[in-house]
Amino acid sequence: MVNSVAMTVPLAFEPKSNRVMQQPPRNPREPLLSKQLLWRIFAVSAFNWILIFGMFEWARRTTGDIAIARTIAIQALIAGRIVYLLSISQWGKAIAAKLRGKATTIKDAPVITLGIVGSILLQIIFSQWSVMNALFQTAPLSLNQWLICLIPALPMIGLAIFVNRIDPID
């Protein structure tokens, strides 16, 4: 819960899209959750579900340690969520534009950066501090295990691109 807040609160401080005031108001008779938004929620939720349980089961089978499997599953989820956060932020859009060779500026990057750094620090504390391990029945991870947790973030890039085309943020 704390980590979700640390990652999503910075979006509230982001500058709005340049086109937001050019869009007509939403029809009050339309549902708040459009079909495209429901599809986005379903796709990201299904990916997260597969990610958590897939990583847990893989780690449990390869290490034989349920505590390590719990920690790996959670860390992999957070890595994927960081990628998704970037995909819906103005900062992520600016990075994508720069990668395509377009001249752009990154506005208010410190706020998003602070949220991501804060999430990473909270995750390190969560997984490496013995008090947290005892409280949540997790285990500290080795450097190799941390790197394994980053692997599922790669398919999240593709999923984020896909859902952003189906349900554009702007």
Mean model confidence pLDDT for the chain:
83
For residue 156, being part of any structural domain is answered with yes
Range of the domain at 67: 35-166
- As for how many domains the chain has, the answer is 1
Write the pLDDT tens digit of every residue in 52-80: 999 999 999 999 999 999 999 999 999 98
For residue 12, being part of any structural domain is answered with no
For residue 162, being part of any structural domain is answered with yes
pLDDT for res 1 = 45
* Backbone dihedral angles phi then psi of residue 76, each to the nearest 5 degrees: -65, -40
For residue 23, being part of any structural domain is answered with no
- pTM (two decimals): 0.80
For residue 7, being part of any structural domain is answered with no
What confidence tier does 16 reach under pLDDT thresholds 50, 70, 90? low
In the chain, pLDDT over 70 holds for what percent of residues?
79
For residue 62, being part of any structural domain is answered with yes
In the chain, pLDDT over 90 holds for what percent of residues?
37
For residue 11, being part of any structural domain is answered with no
